[in-house]
Amino acid sequence: MQDQAKNRPHNHLIIGTRGSNLALAQALEVRDLLIGHHPHLNINNIEIRVMSTRGDRVQDRNLSEIGGKGLFTEEIEEALYKGDIDIAVHSLKDMPTKLPDGLELACYLEREDVRDAFLSDKAQCLSDLPKGAILGTSSLRRKAQALALRPDLKIVNFRGNVQTRLKKLDDGVADATFLAMAGLNRLAIEDQRINPVNVKDILPAVAQGAITIEIASENEKLKELLYPLNHSETELRVRAERSMLDILDGSCRTPIAGLAAIDGNILTLKGRVLDEDGHNDFSYTLSGNKNDPEAIGRELGQRLKCASS
């Protein structure tokens, strides 16, 4: 493991990423932050290597049918093992809660807008859609929460990157869809159809809006290099959320939502579990010391697990 990385010049760094416009924007953000914090690095000695994942290649089925979150990470993590890349940049909401042995999440960038965005030519919010309208989404979380509010809606599969889904909306495949505000902001997309959704109505995915950097656990030099990029509040919040998700055995097969907030030394976590049609809907909120986020997440996860089982 990491043999190729050891043979590279000390100031040459390879960033592995998926190939969508959003993934590339996130990788470039990491590159620019590294350059800003470390004078010995520049655009000539940081390489961005685009990698294809099974989750990107299979677009005609829901993730729940083909394997879940790991579909966006397996090929990239294999490259980390081999030393073909030094760091992997991920959207944290796409990461399984259990990582392969020898790999770890070493850094969390400051979180973007956590909200979902509602997009439609026919309405500015979900409640204003005509009866029986078609909602396009591949997210079970969004589907379940939308049906909990509007059980009359028809749901169609809406896979693809941001641009693909916007084109599907333009082509009339659906009357409305949801996208993450974080992705729209990072791509600087301005569209008059974009309407941020209050988290009280649609609770975000766990870790939505957060970028993480994965590395080989043995690479202490990289940990030091990445330390200045880490945003401590974001880290505490997503650790609580992912701990809850881990207890719930969360994957793309279960509608689960969660969001943590910090006020002073208090971290408050809200979690929500639904069935796919939104009929059964369970939510809890729990607060505790921000310095023990996993304990809060585990306890809330257990409460939701008991309620929904």
Enumerate the active-site residues: 94
Residue among 228, 227, 284 nearest 260 (CA) = 284
As a whole number of angstroms, the distance between CA 231 and CA 107 comes to 8
Amino acid present at 228: P
132: left (phi over 0), alpha (psi -120 to 50) or beta: left
The answer to whether 30 touches 37, Cβ cutoff 8 Å, is no
